[in-house]
Amino acid sequence: MTEHLVPAFLSLLDPVVLLTITTGTVVGIIVGAMPGLTATMAVALLIPVTFGMPPLHGLSLMGGVYCGGMYGGAISAILLSTPGTPAAAATSFDGYPMARQGKGGTALAIAAWASFWGGIISTFALLLMAPTLAHFSLRFGPPEYFVLAIMGLSSIVTLTKGSMVKGLIAGFLGLVVATVGMDPLSGYMRFTFGQVDLYDGVPFMPALIGLFSISQILDLTAETRIAEGLDGTSLSSIKRSKLPKGLGGTIVQGGIIGTIVGMLPGAGATISAFISYNFAKQGSKDPETFGKGNPKGVAASESANNGCVGGSIIPLLTLGIPGNSVAAALMGGLMIQGLIPGPELFTRYGTLTYGFILSLFLANLVFLVLGLYLAPYFARVTSTPNALLIPGIVILSVIGSYAINNNMFDVWLMLGFGIAGYFLEKGGFSTGALVLGLILGPIAELGFGQSLILSQGSPLIFFDRPLCIALWIITLLLMIPAFTSGRRKKQA
Amino acid sequence: MNPVTNRLFSAAGLGLAATLFLGAKDFPDRAASAARYIFFLAGVLALLSVIMFFRSEAQSEPQNRWIRSPRHFLVTVAAMAGYGAAIPYLGFFLASALFMPVLALLLDYRRPLFIAIGTGVILLFVYLVFVYFLGVPVPMGIWEG
């Protein structure tokens, strides 16, 4: 490895490479911040563009888009409660309340630092331990995926602020909505009512935009500004505001969770962000402040989703198995350059591969600098009059929902989810829990069905494998504090 | 939350569970495992709805006002529905150019210059990112060539 690192590092000093990394990261931030535009879409669109470029230029451009896109999702999640990417959904739980308190700039700065360190941790893992970690990820089979989904679902307990029963109902409602469409095992169409647009299931992004964005703007119709007290002097105080202390442990924990979950094909950044948020809340001395603007909530979610970047590339480069859809698009970028994932990438093409890995460090640095510098200016959005902001967000939500499948049906679905989400939230049902059920439903169902086929119907398969047992134990440990704190409250 | 409202939500939950149960009953044999999963979800949903029905949570939950500003809420919902209906006919850009000023005015914003600038900036941004760079074929309505 060391013989490749020095030439790889020197290849990055080429100004054109530095320019492509910066350009890719900026494009990624913009794409990530826009609901409906995904890093996968941007990387896929760049593949033909990179065909004519030298391999390192093309790969570093796509790597920059990936890193920037993952961070960019936090910007709209924090300022408008509209996650630019599904992975930033958990960021909005505490980021948006912070913006409402006039701390949008601080929340954005925390997101930038947490994303940076999450990305750095996972890129180090990619650089130093890729082959070992890739083989570990292969030990995850359907039963482990099912238990991992259960671990994610246990976050419902965390996300629920009031009645636990209502939180669970919201989570199960999400699981129910996720059953719409083709059954993954038999191919049978369920609850589609003959609507062709539902054959692939309820599209996730329009549902997410509706539940988070439209329901929020309907609530904002009663107010004049997102952050009522924010004025010109507040803006300058944002520039001077210091980062809260004590976030280091949460960020490191999130980065590690993101790296591990990111390596698992199909699991992805969204689940890792929720699991990390759950860990942070359950390990906190003041869990009741989560969901009300606790900086650790932002740090946990953002470090985990950016931690997935390096994690998802580990099985891609070593085994040719992409960890998620963006990594799959990146694989297209590798193939178009004639690079086949596997051991040769680290030997014959070592300089190029390590150059690409090192370029991810630089991409993280670029979005950190941009994020910190621009945070106070982005935060100005919260002082825009709601009468202007509301129609603007609706327009972006409409085009964002439409752009996924170029389909007006998705727009109506998004509006429907928005209105339903508004009334559910008012009724005390957590839309976060609903989204979690929607995300994890397909993974849980597929893992459950495949496992039972493997075990010929015996549910013992979920309890007799070492990794499953470890995951069950972690899940139970995560749930204990929530229930004991509930009991303590009752006793008090 | 009002206990009556909670009971209405419980009834809706039970209704959904019953619908799921009846729907999954008609699944063919090849989708037996899918039906079992739906039965499981319907069962849990029904159980939770029953628990919510019988639990008196009126004291423990904060009292929410369903709609804090009814006029603004209703005009926003109506404007969004009208906007969605207008897009296929007027095209995305014309419908958006009308929607933004109309809703801003309905929400009592009275600064035409800022409305015009805001509309222009949003539409220019959407055009550059979605249409120019990403080639998203936005609905053109009557302008479709």
* Structural domains in chain B (count): 2
Q: HEC profile for chain A?
A: CHHHHHHHHHHHCCHHHHHHHHHHHHHHHHHHHCCCCCHHHHHHHHHHHHCCCCHHHHHHHHHHHHHHHHHHHHHHHHHHCCCCCHHHHHHHHHHHHHHHCCCHHHHHHHHHHHHHHHHHHHHHHHHHHHHHHHHHHCCCCHHHHHHHHHHHHCHHHHHCCCCHHHHHHHHHHHHHHHCCEECCCCCCEECCCCCHHHCCCCCHHHHHHHHHHHHHHHHHCCCCECCCCCCHHHHHHHHHCCCCCCCHHHHHHHHHHHHHHHHCCCCHHHHHHHHHHHHHHHCCCCHHHCCCCCHHHHHHHHHHHHHHHHHHHHHHHHHCCCCCHHHHHHHHHHHHCCCCCCHHHHCCCHHHHHHHHHHHHHHHHHHHHHHHHHHHHHHHHHHCEHHHHHHHHHHHHHHHHHHHHCCHHHHHHHHHHHHHHHHHHHCCCCHHHHHHHHHHHHHHHHHHHHHHHHCCCCHHHHCCCHHHHHHHHHHHHHHHHHHHHHHHHHHC
Structural domain harbouring A118: 2-487
| Average pLDDT across chain B, whole number | 88
In this prediction, residues A55-82 reach a mean pLDDT of: 88
* Structural domains in chain A (count): 1
In this prediction, residues A96-115 reach a mean pLDDT of: 89
**Residues in chain A, overall count:** 492
DSSP-assigned letter for residue B55 = S
Alpha-carbon distance of A49 to A57, in angstroms, equals: 11
Report pLDDT for A145. Answer: 84
In this prediction, residues B112-137 reach a mean pLDDT of: 89
| Residue A398 to residue B83, Cβ atoms within 8 A | yes
Residue A225's DSSP bridge partners are A385
pLDDT in tens, A390-412: 999 899 899 988 988 889 999 99
| Average pLDDT across chain A, whole number | 84
CB neighbour list of residue B17: distance below 8 Å, 6 or more residues apart: B42, B43, B45, B46, B49
In this prediction, residues A313-333 reach a mean pLDDT of: 78
CA distance A491 to chain B (A): 14
Is A461's pLDDT higher than 80? yes
Residues B138 and B75 in one domain: yes
| Facing residue for A394 by CB, picked from B38, B83, B134 | B83
CA distance A299 to chain B (A): 29
Which band of pLDDT confidence, cut at 50, 70 and 90, is reported for residue A486?
low
| Residue B122 to residue A168, Cβ atoms within 8 A | no
Is B58's pLDDT higher than 60? no
| Residue A169 to residue B45, Cβ atoms within 8 A | yes
Is A51's pLDDT higher than 80? no
- Tell me the percentage of chain A whose pLDDT exceeds 90: 25
Residues B43 and B77 in one domain: no
Interface test with B, best of A390, A451, A455 (most B CBs within 10 A): A390
How many CB contacts within 8 angstroms connect chain A with chain B? 164
Report pLDDT for A369. Answer: 92
Residues B82 and B133 in one domain: yes
The beta-carbon contacts of B113-119 under 8 Å, at least 24 apart in sequence, are: B114/A385, B114/A388, B115/A388, B118/A388, B118/A392
| Facing residue for B31 by CB, picked from A31, A186, A402 | A186
Residues B112 and B136 in one domain: yes
Instruction: Please say whether the beta carbons of A371 and A109 come within 8 A.
Output: yes
Look at residues A100, A77, A203, A93 and name the one whose alpha carbon lies nearest to residue A430: A93
pLDDT in tens, A170-179: 989 999 999 9
pLDDT in tens, A127-185: 888 767 777 777 788 898 888 888 878 777 766 767 788 888 998 999 999 999 998 88
Report pLDDT for A103. Answer: 85
Report pLDDT for A235. Answer: 52
In this prediction, residues A59-78 reach a mean pLDDT of: 89
Report pLDDT for B56. Answer: 55
Residues B77 and B134 in one domain: yes
Is A473's pLDDT higher than 70? yes
Tell me whether A120 touches chain B (CB under 8 Å).
Answer: no
Report pLDDT for A218. Answer: 92
Residue A182's DSSP bridge partners are A189
Is B75's pLDDT higher than 80? yes
- Decide: residue A182, CB within 10 A, 0-12 exposed, 13-18 middle, 19+ buried: middle
DSSP symbols for B62-113:
PPPPS-SSHHHHHHHHHHHHHHHHHHHHH-HHHHHHHHHHHHHHHTT---HH
CA distance B101 to chain A (A): 8
| Residue A395 to residue B96, Cβ atoms within 8 A | yes
More confident residue, A404 or B97: B97
Is A232's pLDDT higher than 60? no
Residues B88 and B138 in one domain: yes
Is B18's pLDDT higher than 60? yes
In this prediction, residues A267-289 reach a mean pLDDT of: 85
Q: Which of A198-207, A335-344, B42-51 has the least mean pLDDT?
A: A335-344
Tell me whether A423 touches chain B (CB under 8 Å).
Answer: yes
Report pLDDT for B109. Answer: 92
| Residue B80 to residue A214, Cβ atoms within 8 A | yes
Residues B85 and B44 in one domain: no
Query: Which residue in chain A has the smallest CA separation from B46?
Result: A169
Residues B86 and B50 in one domain: no
CA distance B15 to chain A (A): 13
| B62 occurs within a structural domain | no
Residues B18 and B46 in one domain: yes
Give whichever of A74-88, A473-487, B60-74 has the largest mean pLDDT. Answer: A74-88
Is A240's pLDDT higher than 60? no
Instruction: Please say whether the beta carbons of A160 and A436 come within 8 A.
Output: no
Residues B81 and B40 in one domain: no
| Residue A173 to residue B55, Cβ atoms within 8 A | no
| A492 occurs within a structural domain | no
Structural domain harbouring B126: 70-143
| Facing residue for B108 by CB, picked from A387, A392, A419 | A387
The amino acid sitting at A175 is L
Report pLDDT for A95. Answer: 92
Report pLDDT for B101. Answer: 96
| A276 occurs within a structural domain | yes
Report pLDDT for A267. Answer: 63
Alpha-carbon distance of A236 to A189, in angstroms, equals: 56
